[in-house]
Amino acid sequence: MAAGQLRHGDPLASAALGITRAQRMALAGLLGFLAGLVIIAPQATALFVHHFLWLFFSVSIAFRILMLMLSSRPKTTCTLPPQSDLPVYTILIPLYRETEVLGGLCEAIGALNYPKLKLDVKLLLEADDKQTIQALKGRVLGPEWEILIVPPVGPQTKPKALNVGFARARGELVSIYDAEDRPHPDQLLHAARAFACDATGRLGCVQAPLSYYNADQNWLTHQFALEYAAHFQVLLPAMARLGLPFPLGGTSNHFRCSALRHVGAWDPYNVTEDADLGYRLSANGWHLDAIIPPTREEAVSRPGPWRRQRSRWLKGYMQTLGVHMRRPARQNALAGMLSITMTLGTAVLAALGHASFSILLIISLVLSPWLGSMLSLADYGLAASGFVVGIIMLGVGARRAGFAVTIGDLPGAVLYWSMQSWAMAKALVDIVIRPFHWEKTRHGFCPPPKAKRRP
């Protein structure tokens, strides 16, 4: 049931179908048309593609400038209900080979400032993960904790595990945490307040910002932290302020259970189930918002695991784009199309071209004294604009997240952005040969800070 609910109930909303017949025909027609143009007029075709991409990224940069202008930290204007009126809160925690971080996880959940009698914590374990199951048997957990074994039916993915836990959820609200997460102690209270203050009754989810506790471990974790700061501290709050749907983070999103049930919960066949769910909620009439208290995670600190994790994200973005392009004329269609194009669409196209454009730009600059520039002034202007806007977003996001951007981060950002193409090469292979495979990210390489209960 957990693996097939959405697939059978609303098959067009699930990535299980892959590319539909109509999409295959449209894609084949487009590629055939372009191939014909290349044969007839190769230079004109190349110029057309160049102008199209130039226009697309110009609009994407303009969109991010608008987000910078509108971005502000979320504000709360109503008071929290008394503790006796707080709703039961279900916390879903999928685990797979996470023995290294179990102690810190239990400590972090125990430090949450929420009545223990109103917590429903579910640890979701895979049947073949004997080591983690055994490790949990030796732990003394409170009555609010429940261990569930996910049956080995369907794809072995995080969203399938979440669906298993959600089927047994007792709460009116539900949140997700990963094994290495260290949520702010007051995060559940802030989320509960946001739902209590929602006069429309259509608030489906609030997203807490994600950051990293090992941002200073090395160059890669620092760039990763800057990227997250721009996304969760600048882009998402601005999109929420405009009422636009946005791709949810994989953790620390807080849902109204009725909204999740209404849209069929998570898609077990989508490897970025979080991004998909944000747009599916919007397409069904629910809206999203952001809250302030963050969750700190462990950033991937080595290039190989970073590439595997990022390739899964890019593969999932392509899956999500394909799913939501099947029925573009749904509720909130204009907002949804704008948002998904400017977020996931930009991420995919940028990953396809970052490295090649950066190399072309460098070659053009180096050889221009002898051969003349291979790029136009408009191309240089577009590259400079994208760089400046990107750096400003990193700076604003970093300040809000509590750390600084230095001058040495600027060239590093260009290299980091170009690494997306390295991950995209793997994503393109994976989406063909193993579209539902979940690249597992190992944690526990950097010890997290101790959780502190607030008075």
* Within-domain flag for 260: yes
Q: What is the pLDDT of residues 61-79, one digit of tens each?
A: 999 999 999 887 766 666 7
* Within-domain flag for 454: no
pLDDT exceeds 90 at position 453: no
- pLDDT of 455: 42
Contact partners, residue 267, CB within 8 Å, separation at least 6:
6, 7, 13, 14, 15, 16, 159, 273, 276, 277, 280, 323
The residue segments making up the domain with residue 388 are: 57-72+79-367+374-442
Q: What is the pLDDT of residues 114-129, one digit of tens each?
A: 999 999 999 999 988 8
- pLDDT of 454: 47
- Whether pTM exceeds 0.85: yes
- pLDDT of 49: 80
- pLDDT of 23: 77
* Within-domain flag for 30: no
Of 219 and 446, the structure prediction assigns the larger pLDDT to 219
Q: What is the pLDDT of residues 374-390, one digit of tens each?
A: 667 888 788 889 889 99
Q: How far is CA 387 from CA 94, 112, 292, 376, 399, in A?
A: 37, 39, 27, 17, 18
Q: Dihedral, CA atoms, 101, 106, 109, 115, nearest 10 degrees?
A: 180
- pLDDT of 449: 66
* Within-domain flag for 24: no
* Within-domain flag for 397: yes
- pLDDT of 78: 67
Q: How far is Cα 157 from Cα 337, in angstroms, rounded to an integer?
A: 27
* Within-domain flag for 143: yes
Closest by CA position to 122, among listed 164, 153, 93: 93
What's the CATH code of the domain at 152?
A: 3.90.550.10
Closest by CA position to 387, among listed 421, 350, 424: 350
Q: What percent of the chain has pLDDT over 90?
A: 56
Mean pLDDT throughout 264-288?
Answer: 94
Mean pLDDT throughout 101-118?
Answer: 91
- Identity of the highest mean pLDDT range in 111-120, 127-136, 440-449: 111-120
Classified as helix, coil or strand, 83 is helix
Contact partners, residue 18, CB within 8 Å, separation at least 6:
322, 435
Q: How far is Cα 288 from Cα 228, in angstroms, rounded to an integer?
A: 19
Domain count within the chain: 1
- pLDDT of 414: 85
Closest by CA position to 297, among listed 342, 356, 252: 252
Of 317 and 15, the structure prediction assigns the larger pLDDT to 317
pLDDT exceeds 60 at position 394: yes
* Strand ranges inside 251-335, DSSP E: 253-256, 287-290, 295-297
- pLDDT of 235: 95
The average confidence (pLDDT) of the chain is: 87
Closest by CA position to 452, among listed 124, 153, 113: 113
Q: What percent of the chain has pLDDT over 70?
A: 91
**Tokens matching residue 272:** 């970025």
- pLDDT of 19: 79
* Within-domain flag for 453: no
pLDDT exceeds 80 at position 330: no
* Within-domain flag for 355: yes
Q: How far is Cα 18 from Cα 433, in angstroms, rounded to an integer?
A: 12
Q: What is the pLDDT of residues 344-378, one digit of tens each?
A: 999 999 998 877 777 766 776 666 655 455 667 88
